[in-house]
Structure 1
Amino acid sequence: MKNKFIKISVCTLALSLLLGSCTDDILDEQSRTVYTPDYFKTEAGVIGGLTGMYAHLRYMYGQAYYYNATLTGTDEATWGQSADGNFKDADLSGVGNLNSSSSRSDVLWNTAFSNINAANGIIENASAVGISEALVSEARFFRAFDYFLLVQTFGGVPLDLGSGELKFNVSQNRTSVRNTVPEVYTKVIFPDLVTAVANLPDAGRVTGGATKTVARLHLAKAYLTYGWWLENPNNIPTYPETPRTDPDGHNAQWYFQKAYDIAIEGIDNPGPFALQPTFYDVNVATNDRNNEILLMADHTESSEIFNGGSLTFGSGGAPDNFAGWMLTWNYTSLVSGTTPAWTAKVSSVQREAAQPYGRPWVRMAPPQGVFNNTFADKVNDSRYDGTFTTVYRGNWDKTTLIGTNPVLYGANGIAVEPGDAIFSFLNEEPSQPIDFSNTTYNSGIGAGVLPGRADFVLPPSRISRRVYPGLWKLGPYRTDNAGGLGQPNAGSTRPFNVAKFSELYLVAAEAAVKGAATQPGKSARDLVNVLRARAGKWRYSNADNAVFIQDNSAAAVAATPAVIDINYILAERSREYFGEGYRWFDLVRTQKWNELAGTYTICGPNLTDVTPQTFTRTIQPFHYLRPIPQGQLDAMDMPDADIEAYQNPGYE
C-alpha cells in the first residue's frame, strides 16, 4: 500500500447520538453506510477499517473551522477582517461568545468517536481472522491518537460508547457517561501506545502512516501532557471532577521522565525518519511527504476520487484541505499603473494556485507580536522566511485579462515586470520615513512608498486584521497549472502534516525543563539547539525568490539562552510549527494561555485603521476545556439534570 492515496469518507457506528448519514468508499471502492460487527470479522473488513483510520484525519486536519479552534485566541492568531462568528467567538476578546453551539471543537468530537468505534471493532475482531498485531496496532495507535486529542480538548470523555468500555458499539442506547481524565490516559491512551510502539514497524505500510516512531512521539507527548495535568501549576479545574492523582501511583515527575526517555528513544532509533537539512526543505511543496513527516492527512491532484474533494473548486468543508485559506489576506487588492503617471491601473497580483498565493479568506490574522517577538530574528533564523510570504510578486502575465501588458508601473512610477516585487512587508521599522500619502501611487491596500523602490511597503507596526504576511508553509501547489494561474479556488491538494520528527526534540527538551534526568549531550539546551542550528541554515530565500546559501547556525546557537525555561520552549515550538494547529494545545498543556495570549496588538480591519491597538482576552480557567457540543447534548435521552452535568462547567 506504499504511496497509495486513500479514498474514503468517515462514517462508523459510534455513540448512537453521533450517527449521521454518510457513505464510505474503501480502496476497492466498495461502498458501505456503516461498519457492522460482521464486517470486521473479515480480513477485507479489517483492512477497510484501517483505511478509514487514515481517511478520518482529513475531517480534522485541513478542516478550517477546526483549524480555527486550535489557533484563534492564542498568541498566533486572532480574527481577521472577513471573520464570522466561528472565528470571533474563539478569540475571547469581547466580540463573540464561545459556547456549546459556537465552539468548532465539535469537529473533533464528531469525527473522533466514529473513528474510535471503528478501532474498537478492528481490535475486537482482528485476531479471529488472522490479522497480525502489527496491523491491529495501527488501530490501537489511532484509538489512542483520538482519545489523546479528546482528553486534551474536553477533559474526561466516555470510554463506553454503548456496548461497554472500549467495545465496538452495537447499541442504540442514547445515554452516555464521561470517564475521568486519569481513566482515559491509563485505560486506553498509554496501553494502546505502548502496544503500538512494541508492534508497529519502523517503516509504515503507507507513506505518512503509523510507525514505531510516530507512536513513540505520541506516547512521549501523552506522558508529558499527563505530567502537567497531575502537577496543575495554576490550579486549572478538570472535569469530571477527580483528584489529581494517578491510579498507578506515579507522580508528575515520573511521567516527565518517561516523556524524556521515550522521546530520546525515538531520536536514537529513527527508522527511516530524519530531520530535513533546512527548515525550507520541511515545508516547500516540491518536497512534500519528506522523511521528517511522521503522519499526514494526505491529498493528491491526480484524482478527485483519491483526493477526497474537487480539483477545481473548494467546498469550504471537509474532507477538503482548506485551512490555508484562513490566514491568507486579499492580496489581489494590490494594483499597479499601466503608465508611469498611473493614469490607469490594474490588479497586478492575481489569485494563483502557487505556494506564495492561494485563496484569500481573511478569517484569521496573526497579531503583531508574532513578527516583533516570536520571529524577532529574521536574519539568522530562516524560519520566518520559511513560514511566511512577505513579498508579493506580479503575475498578471498569467491571465488573458491583462496579460498583454509586458510592463506595469509600481511605486515611484518605476517599471515592474512579471515576477518583480509589487509589495513587501518590511522586516523592521525603516530608518527613513515612509510616504503613506498615496497622492499619486496608490497600492490599493494602504501601503507606503520608499524612495527608489518600485515595491510598496508596510512596516510591522501597520500589520492589521486586513493586511498581514501570508502563511507560505500551507500555501497550495499544483503541477497542472500549465503556465497559468491554475485552480486557486480548489482545496489544497497538498498533504496536511499532522506530526513531525522534529517534535521529539522539543518534547524531550520540555520534559528536561520539567526536571527529567537527561543523558549526556541531550540537555534541554542541546536538544533545542539541534533545531536552532538547522534553522540557521539557508538554501533558498522566499523573500528574494532566489537561491540563498548561508549558514548562520553558529549565530543561532549562540543566541540560545544558557538556561532554557518553558516560555523559551513554547517560543521555539511556535517558530517551528507556527500556523499548523499546535498552539492552543501547547498553551493549555503548560497552562500558559492567559500569560502569553491574554493581550495582543494589531491594527484594525479597515484601510484607515493604521494605529496599533492592544486587545485583552478574557481567558478564564474553565476555558482550558472546550464545551461539549450542543448536538451531543441534544441527542441524549437522559434526565435534564444528567445532561446538564455532562457539560463542562462554565458553559451552561
Structure 2
Amino acid sequence: MKKFKSIYILGVTMILLLVVSCSDILNEQPRSIYEPGFFQTEEGVRGGVTALYAHLRYIYGNAYFYNTGVTGTDEATYAQSADQNFLVMDLSGQGEITATDSRADVLWGNAFEAINTASGVIENASEVDGISEALVAEANFFRAFDYFQLVQTFGGVPLDLGAGELEFNSNPVRVSVRNTVPEVYTQAIFPDLITAVENLPDNPRVTGGVTKNVARLYLSKAYLTYAWWLENPNNIPTYPETSRTDPDGNDANWYYQQAYDIAIEAIENPGPYALQETFYDVHYAPNDRNSEILLYADRTETSEFYNDASLTWGNGGGADNFAVWMMTWNYTVIRSSSSDTEWNGNIESVRREAVQSLGRPWTRMAPTIDAITETFADKTNDSRYDGTFTTAYRSNIDRSPEVNGPIYNANLMEIQAGDPVLTFLDEQPDTPISYPSDPSRGANIGAGELPGRSDFVIGPEDISRIVYPGLWKLGTYRTDSGDGLGEPNAATTRPFNIAKFSEFYFIAAEAAVQGATTAAGMDARDLINVIRERAGHWRWYNKENQERIEDNSAEMVAATPATIDIDYILEERSREYFAEGFRWYDLIRTQKWEEFASSYRIAGSNYGDHEAQTVQRNIQPHHYLRPIPQGQLDALQISSAERAEYQNPGY
C-alpha cells in the first residue's frame, strides 16, 4: 500500500497526510495522496478523516504502548520472558525508565501525525463543496482525542507543529516549543470537543464512527482529569512549569460539575449505545462491536489489505493487535501422560489455538497475586473475574490434527477432549495442594494435585511470573479455523476497545465524590451500583465452560459501601477495565499511583515456584509523566541546554 509522509516539526517524527489504509467496517476506500493541496478536495477531506480512524490501529493493540498503561500498576508486573520494554516499566529495580526505552513513543509519533492530518481537514473543509459540519467535527474530535492522550502522558505538548498553533503544517521544521497543560486543555482539547458535541450526529455516519456521545465521553473525562490537575492533592509537579490556575478563571469544582453534568446527559440520552446485559457479553468475541463500545481500533479477518496486518503471522509491530499476547503465558508446555500407571508427560494436551481462551503466548506481563485475591475478591457473585481471565486450560486434542488418546492427567486419571488439564483455583483450598518437587511431574510446569481431581491445579496465592491466568477478555478470535487450530500466530483480528458507555457512570460517580452536585437518584453510590448490579448477572461460566443463568445483583448492591470514596471507585474501575490499558491513567489522574501500587506480590520465574515474594516499587513524582522520546529530542536543531529544558524533569 502507498503511504505519503512528510517530515514535519521534529525530524524523524513523520506526518501521514492522508491514508495508510482503511477498515472495510468503515466502508471507505484506501487512497494515496501526494501533496497537501489534496485536502482542498472532497476526496482529500474524506480520505483525511478515514486516516484518523486508521491511526488508532497503530496505538491501540500495540503491545509496547499497552504495556505502559498496565505494567507497574497494581494490576500487572513483568513476566518471565519480559525484555527491557517491560522490565523498566515495573519500577522495581529492573532498570530505569529513560527517554530511549519508554514505549510511550508509540503514542507520541502516531498522535502528532493524526493531529496534523486533523488540522488539514479542519482548515480546508469549509472551502470544499459537499462537506458537512458533522464530517469536519470528526476531525475536531480526533485532534482533541490525541491531544488529551498526549497531555495526560507527557504534560504540556506543542500546539504549533510548524505553521502556527493548531495550524496544518507541511514544511520540515526542527524547532519546537511546548505549551503548558492549561493551554493544551483550554485552547485545543475543550474547544474541539465542544465543537464535536455540537456538530456530530447522535448516530454514527459509518459503523464505528464517532458520535455526539463519543465526544461527550471525552469531554467529560477531560474536564474530570483537568479538575484533578488543578486540585493537585499530592503536589505532583507539572511540566512545563506553570501555576495550577485556569486561564478562564474556573476552579476545580466547576470542572468536576461539568464532568458530572455531561456524563449524566449522555446516560439520559444514550442514542444507539447501551450497557450489555452481562459483563460476559461485553467481551465475548462473537459479540464484538456491541452497543456498549463507543470507540475501537478496528481490524478484520477478511482481508490483509484492510486489516493492515498479516492474517497468518504477527511480527509484533505496525498495525498488529498483539497486546493480549503479553499476558498469555506459555501454556503449550503443559503435558499429560499416555500411561495410567506411571507419569511420562509425553502428550501435548493443550495446543496453541486461535480461540479466545488461548492464542499466542509471549509471557511478558503477569497479573499480581493481589489483583487476583483482592481486586477480584468476590468470585462467586461478581462475574467480572470469570469474564476477565482464562482460569481453565482445556484439552484440545480433538482439533485437527488430532492427538491419539487415551490421555491421563493429575492423579493419573483419564481425561477427554474438552476436559480441564490445568485449573487456577478461585480460592486456596482447605486441603493443601500437593505440589511436586519435580516440576515435570506437575504437567511439566510444577502444577499441583488435589485428591479425586483429574485436572492439575494452582492456587491464587501461588501464581508466578511464568504460570498465571491468561487474559480471556482480550483473547484471540477467528471464524475461519474450521476443525483445526486456526492461525494462533497471527495478531488478533478483533477490534481493540478504546471507550465504553459504562465509563459515563464512573466519570459521573468520580465527579460526585469530588464535590459535584448530583441529581436525584444519581449520586456516586447509585451510579456505581448500576455497574455492580450488571456484574451480578451471569449467563455463561467460562471456568466450567457451561451456561450459568444466575442473578446475584441484589448481593452485589448490598455489598456496596454506604459511602463511596475515590479509592472504592478506583477498585471498581479495575474490576471493570482490568488490563485494558486504563490503569496507569486512572492512578496518575487521581494521584493514587504510589498508594495503590508501591508493592505487590508474585512468585518467581521458574516452573514450580509457588513462593510468593513481596516486591517494592520506587515510584517517584516525576514518573507521573513519561519522558519525551529520545528520537524527538535528537531531531531538534536546538542547543543542548534547550534540549534538556524540553525534556520532562527526572529523565
Q: Smaller-chain TM-score range?
A: over 0.9
When residues 608 and 424 of structure 1 are mapped into structure 2, their CA distance, relative to the original with a 3 A threshold, is closer
- What is aligned with 1:149? 149
Is the Cα contact below 8 Å between 2:21 and 2:305 reproduced in 1? no
Aligned equivalents of 1:615, 1:9: Cα separation in 2: 46
Aligned equivalents of 1:8, 1:231: Cα separation in 2: 47
Report the alpha carbon displacement of residue 641 of structure 1 after superposing the two structures with TM. Answer: 1.1
When residues 313 and 10 of structure 1 are mapped into structure 2, their CA distance, relative to the original with a 3 A threshold, is farther
Report the alpha carbon displacement of residue 250 of structure 1 after superposing the two structures with TM. Answer: 0.3
Look up the equivalent residue of 2:497 and give its one-letter code. N
- What is aligned with 1:376? 377
How does 1:179-578 map onto structure 2 within 5 Å? 179-342=179-342, 344=344, 345-400=346-401, 403-437=402-436, 441-578=441-578
Indicate which of 8, 15, 33 corresponds to 2:9. Answer: 15
Aligned equivalents of 1:225, 1:520: Cα separation in 2: 24
Instruction: Find out whether 1:590 has 2:590 as its counterpart.
Output: yes
Report the alpha carbon displacement of residue 209 of structure 1 after superposing the two structures with TM. Answer: 1.9
How does 1:584-623 map onto structure 2 within 5 Å? 584-623=584-623
How does 1:84-99 map onto structure 2 within 5 Å? 84-99=83-98
Is the Cα contact below 8 Å between 1:16 and 1:171 reproduced in 2? no
- What is aligned with 2:20? 24
Aligned equivalents of 2:491, 2:510: Cα separation in 1: 35
Look up the equivalent residue of 1:591 and give its one-letter code. Q
Is the Cα contact below 8 Å between 2:78 and 2:365 reproduced in 1? yes
TM-score by length of 1: 0.96
- What is aligned with 1:44? 43
Q: 1:121-155 CA distances to partner (integer Å, 9 max, x unpaired)?
A: 00000010031110000000000000000000000
When residues 24 and 489 of structure 1 are mapped into structure 2, their CA distance, relative to the original with a 3 A threshold, is same
Report the alpha carbon displacement of residue 20 of structure 1 after superposing the two structures with TM. Answer: 4.4
Is the Cα contact below 8 Å between 1:446 and 1:607 reproduced in 2? yes
In structure 1, the gaps of 5 or more residues are: 1-6
- What is aligned with 2:25? none
- What is aligned with 1:65? 64
Aligned equivalents of 1:215, 1:336: Cα separation in 2: 52
Aligned equivalents of 1:16, 1:89: Cα separation in 2: 26
Aligned equivalents of 2:432, 2:181: Cα separation in 1: 56
Is the Cα contact below 8 Å between 2:409 and 2:454 reproduced in 1? yes
Aligned equivalents of 2:31, 2:243: Cα separation in 1: 48
Report the alpha carbon displacement of residue 203 of structure 1 after superposing the two structures with TM. Answer: 1.1
Report the alpha carbon displacement of residue 441 of structure 1 after superposing the two structures with TM. Answer: 4.4
Is the Cα contact below 8 Å between 1:86 and 1:102 reproduced in 2? yes
Report the alpha carbon displacement of residue 397 of structure 1 after superposing the two structures with TM. Answer: 2.2
Is the Cα contact below 8 Å between 2:445 and 2:608 reproduced in 1? no
When residues 598 and 542 of structure 1 are mapped into structure 2, their CA distance, relative to the original with a 3 A threshold, is same
Look up the equivalent residue of 2:521 and give its one-letter code. G
Report the alpha carbon displacement of residue 171 of structure 1 after superposing the two structures with TM. Answer: 2.5
* SS of residue matched to 1:397: coil
The aligned length equals: 641
Look up the equivalent residue of 2:372 and give its one-letter code. F
Look up the equivalent residue of 2:242 and give its one-letter code. T
Report the alpha carbon displacement of residue 233 of structure 1 after superposing the two structures with TM. Answer: 0.2
Aligned equivalents of 2:29, 2:609: Cα separation in 1: 55
Report the alpha carbon displacement of residue 118 of structure 1 after superposing the two structures with TM. Answer: 0.3
Q: 1:393-415 CA distances to partner (integer Å, 9 max, x unpaired)?
A: 00022242xx2424311111111
* SS of residue matched to 2:11: helix
Aligned equivalents of 2:315, 2:578: Cα separation in 1: 25
- What is aligned with 2:122? 123
Report the alpha carbon displacement of residue 101 of structure 1 after superposing the two structures with TM. Answer: 0.2
Q: 1:311-355 CA distances to partner (integer Å, 9 max, x unpaired)?
A: 000011020100010000111111111121245321100000000
Aligned equivalents of 2:49, 2:335: Cα separation in 1: 50
How does 1:98-109 map onto structure 2 within 5 Å? 98-109=97-108
* SS of residue matched to 1:347: coil
- What is aligned with 2:168? 168
Aligned equivalents of 2:153, 2:3: Cα separation in 1: 24
Of 245-254 and 12-21, deviating more is 12-21
* SS of residue matched to 1:31: coil
Q: Identity, % of aligned pairs? A: 62
Report the alpha carbon displacement of residue 442 of structure 1 after superposing the two structures with TM. Answer: 2.8
Report the alpha carbon displacement of residue 640 of structure 1 after superposing the two structures with TM. Answer: 1.5
Is the Cα contact below 8 Å between 1:134 and 1:201 reproduced in 2? yes
In structure 2, the gaps of 5 or more residues are: 23-27
Of 11-20 and 498-507, deviating more is 11-20
Is the Cα contact below 8 Å between 2:115 and 2:142 reproduced in 1? yes
Aligned equivalents of 1:425, 1:501: Cα separation in 2: 31
* SS of residue matched to 1:202: coil
- What is aligned with 2:140? 140
Report the alpha carbon displacement of residue 18 of structure 1 after superposing the two structures with TM. Answer: 4.2
Q: 1:21-42 CA distances to partner (integer Å, 9 max, x unpaired)?
A: 988346433324x6x4301000
When residues 228 and 190 of structure 1 are mapped into structure 2, their CA distance, relative to the original with a 3 A threshold, is same
Look up the equivalent residue of 1:100 and give its one-letter code. A
Report the alpha carbon displacement of residue 436 of structure 1 after superposing the two structures with TM. Answer: 1.0
Quote the RMSD (CA, aligned, Å): 1.5
Look up the equivalent residue of 1:214 and give its one-letter code. V
Of 509-518 and 13-22, deviating more is 13-22
Is the Cα contact below 8 Å between 1:204 and 1:210 reproduced in 2? yes
Is the Cα contact below 8 Å between 1:11 and 1:114 reproduced in 2? no
When residues 565 and 100 of structure 1 are mapped into structure 2, their CA distance, relative to the original with a 3 A threshold, is same
* SS of residue matched to 1:213: helix
* SS of residue matched to 2:547: strand
Report the alpha carbon displacement of residue 433 of structure 1 after superposing the two structures with TM. Answer: 1.6
Aligned equivalents of 1:425, 1:215: Cα separation in 2: 40
Report the alpha carbon displacement of residue 9 of structure 1 after superposing the two structures with TM. Answer: 6.7
Aligned equivalents of 2:283, 2:20: Cα separation in 1: 31
Look up the equivalent residue of 2:58 and give its one-letter code. Y
TM-score by length of 2: 0.97
Of 284-293 and 335-344, deviating more is 335-344
Aligned equivalents of 2:15, 2:400: Cα separation in 1: 42
Q: 1:426-467 CA distances to partner (integer Å, 9 max, x unpaired)?
A: 111100121112679431111100000000000011111111
When residues 338 and 134 of structure 1 are mapped into structure 2, their CA distance, relative to the original with a 3 A threshold, is same
* SS of residue matched to 1:296: strand
- What is aligned with 1:3? none
Is the Cα contact below 8 Å between 1:144 and 1:193 reproduced in 2? yes
Q: 1:225-271 CA distances to partner (integer Å, 9 max, x unpaired)?
A: 00000000000000000000000000000000000000001101110
Q: 1:499-539 CA distances to partner (integer Å, 9 max, x unpaired)?
A: 00000000000000001000000000000000000000000
* SS of residue matched to 2:270: coil
Report the alpha carbon displacement of residue 69 of structure 1 after superposing the two structures with TM. Answer: 0.8
Of 511-520 and 170-179, deviating more is 170-179
Look up the equivalent residue of 2:639 and give its one-letter code. P
Aligned equivalents of 2:382, 2:212: Cα separation in 1: 31
Report the alpha carbon displacement of residue 8 of structure 1 after superposing the two structures with TM. Answer: 8.7
Aligned equivalents of 1:151, 1:194: Cα separation in 2: 18
Is the Cα contact below 8 Å between 1:539 and 1:549 reproduced in 2? yes
* SS of residue matched to 2:336: strand
